[in-house]
A and B are shown apart, each in its own frame.
Chain A
Amino acid sequence: MSRILDVHEVTKSFGKNRVLEGVSLEMEEHSVVCLIGASGSGKSTLLRCINGLEPIDSGTIVVNGRQVVQDEPTLNRLRREVGMVFQSFNLFPHMTVMENVTLAPRQVLRLPAEQAKARAEELLERIGLTDKCDDYPDRLSGGQQQRVAIVRALAMQPKLMLLDEITSALDPALVGEVLDLVRDLVEEGMTLLLATHEMGFARQVASQICFLHDGRIVEHGLPEQIFTDPAAPETRQFLKRVLASGRL
């Protein structure tokens, strides 16, 4: 197995607000790492730093052997290999589902139109949305939109996928269909780094859990260990609150 991600002592502030403080994280290919922690603990920021959407203040991030630095060609190359899915889907509202999925393969990878379309059709068929390919995103349910967003990222055939609380904006009844798709990806061996509040799901699919608290990784380990026998008092407290809210 090869190292796909190496985050070393990363710090990041927004003004006076320190969001990440000396975060280090390593990921092997085909592993699934779940970031858990309260809102504002730095999970999203960490994901955004990894694909260069946010510049970091200090430390290093290396993705697939290449360091993430803030210059346009490097970032463009990096982002071909790293897919990202957002909490709010962020589909392009002025494009059909098909156009959403084929835009990046055509413009970034320079695939010919038919080839990009064939790839998109295959992916859309997988998620059972072939009949929606000419619809605009606002005609789709939240769950369908999020699955299209995942497929849009997959169309670039990324080596690493970053999923940023992708079920948090969904109607509870629609969470299942999105998680099922992610589960499929895990089974296929996709490398995933996901921030999530779905503890049950994290426990099921993760090869490693990282608990973030106030911009630090307080504890990381196997799901069984974190969920049944957390070492740090912050982790215990967090899990107790999650348990009390009935989400575990």
Chain B
Amino acid sequence: MVPTVVRPRTQSGHTPERPPAWKHRGLRRGVYLAITVVLVVVLFNSREGLARFGSTFLDRQILAESLPPILEGFWMNVRLFMVAEALVLVWGLVVALARSAPGPEAAPLRWLAIGYLDLFRGLPALVTIYLIGFGLPLTGLPVFRNLSLFSLGVLALTLIYGAYVAEVYRAGIESVHWSQTAAARSLGLSHRQTMRFVVIPQAVRRIIPPLLNDFICLQKDTTLVSLIGVLEGFNRARIFSGNRFNLSPVVGLGLCFVIITIPMARLTDRLIEADQRKMRAAG
């Protein structure tokens, strides 16, 4: 879209000479088209190049053959993120509440929460998954010894994304105006009751868009769990690709993620839009 240009007027009131808007637009369109053509030519060089590109990434036959194992693997990704998202919702709230617990006696709780947040937001996801996936079973501690690879993956993802989501919750809690807390407390509600009935219900409405955003990231990051040997989509696709020396299975898996992400993204957009509309109406 070409932005509407407000033409400066000269003092005499005449607009200065300029080419008309359509000419401008036509010129720009031409430049963009030229750039695109050059890019395509450089990338594929010839029809043969295009064909080779196609057969490397989008070989229909290999794609069709690999689809069943990939979908089976992708189902594992779906299970991973569904369980992790449910846990993250609860765990994030717990951490956020600990982080904003009032009073001097709650200080150790706050420090613990801050320490966790700093650590897990700072650690690269891959490192966290590696340490939890391979490290925890090695400790031989009774609980962790018997955890399946799936559970370890879920645990790692929950800890990683719990830190992000806790901060989202906290931002939401802090966005509720203090006068709401004052009103609730002046009615005799305790801190807990104020949080539960007044602050959190209002906060949750506001954090749905950023929360969905984090969930989209989490869905994609389930592929990182392949590192510790969970047979999810990426591992399956990679094995298949290696055997056939062709990347189409990996592209197929990628498309699976895109397909489930698009509705999520649209939903997020719509929620943000609705929220803004509401705020405009209120303001």
A-side residues, CB < 8 A to B, are 48, 51, 53, 72, 75-76, 79-80, 82-84, 86, 88, 90-94, 103-104, 107-108, 138, 149, 152-153, 156
CB <8 Å contact, A108 and B188: yes
Write the chain B residue with the least CB distance to A79: B188
Q: Do the beta carbons of B198 and A92 come within 8 Å of each other?
A: yes
Q: Which residue of chain B lies nearest to A52 when distances are taken between CB atoms in the complex?
A: B185
Binds A, one of B189-197, B223-231, B265-273: B189-197
Residue of A nearest to B191 (CB): A72
Q: Residue A86 contacts which of B179, B193, B198 (CB distance < 8 angstroms)?
A: B179
Contact A92 to B183, CB < 8 A, known contacts A76-B188, A104-B189, A156-B188:
yes
Enumerate chain A residues within 8 angstroms of B188, measured Cβ to Cβ: 76, 79-80, 104, 108, 156
The 6 A-B residue pairs with the shortest CB-CB distance, nearest first, are: A90-B183, A104-B187, A84-B186, A108-B188, A79-B188, A80-B188
Q: B244 contacts the other chain (Cβ, under 8 Å)?
A: no
Docked Cα-Cα span, A121 to B282, in Å, equals: 28
Contacts of A86 in B (CB 8 A): 179, 182-183
**Do B201 and A94 have beta carbons less than 8 Å apart?**
yes
Chain B residue at minimum C-beta to C-beta distance from A109: B188
Per-residue CB contact flags for chain B residues 170-189 toward chain A (1 = under 8 Å, else 0) read 00000000011011111111
Given contacts A53-B182, A90-B180, A94-B201, 5 further A-B contacts (CB under 8 A): A53-B185, A76-B189, A90-B182, A94-B205, A108-B193
Encode contact with A along B51-66: 1 for CB under 8 Å, 0 otherwise. 0000000000000000
Cβ-closest chain B residue relative to A138: B282
Please judge, given known A-B contacts A90-B182, A92-B198, whether A103 and B190 are in contact too, CB under 8 Å: no
Residue of B nearest to A88 (CB): B179
A104 to B186, CA, bound (A): 10
Asked if B197 and A79 make an inter-chain contact with CB atoms under 8 angstroms apart, the answer reads: no
| Bound Cα distance A52, B188 (Å) | 11
Let me know if B190 and A72 touch, CB within 8 A. Answer: yes
B-side binding surface: helix, strand, loop or mixed? helix
Chain B residues closer than 8 Å to A75, beta-carbon distance: 185
B261 within 8 A of A: no
Residues of chain B with a CB closer than 8 A to A138's CB? 282
Q: Please tell me if B246 contacts chain A, counting CB pairs below 8 Å.
A: no
Q: Could you tell me if A152 and B186 are in contact, using CB atoms closer than 8 angstroms?
A: no
Residues of A within 8 A of B182 (CB): 48, 53, 86, 90
Contacts of A76 in B (CB 8 A): 188-190
Instruction: Tell me how far the C-beta of B45 lies from the nearest C-beta in chain A, rounded to whole angstroms.
Output: 60
- With A and B bound together, what is the CA distance between A92 and B188 in angstroms? 15
A152 contacts B187, C-beta separation under 8 Å: yes
CA distance A156 to B184 in the complex (A): 12
Known contacts A92-B198, A94-B201, A103-B197, A156 near B187 by CB under 8 Å: yes
Contact A79/B186 with A93-B202, A94-B205 known, Cβ cut-off 8 Å: yes
**Which B200-224 residues have C-beta < 8 A from chain A?**
201-202, 205
Report A120 CB to chain B, min CB distance, Å. Answer: 13
Instruction: Please report the C-alpha to C-alpha distance between residue A188 and residue B221 in the assembled complex, in whole angstroms.
Output: 65
A94 to B282, CA, bound (A): 13
**Residues in chain B near residue A107, CB distance under 8 A:** 189, 193, 197
List of A residues within 8 angstroms of B179 by Cβ: 86, 88, 90
Residues of A within 8 A of B191 (CB): 72
CB distance from B207 to the nearest CB of A (A): 14
- CB-defined A-B contacts under 8 Å, sample of 23: A51-B186, A72-B191, A75-B185, A79-B185, A79-B186, A84-B183, A86-B182, A86-B183, A90-B180, A90-B182, A92-B183, A92-B184, A94-B201, A103-B187, A103-B189, A103-B197, A104-B187, A107-B193, A107-B197, A108-B193, A153-B187, A156-B187, A156-B188
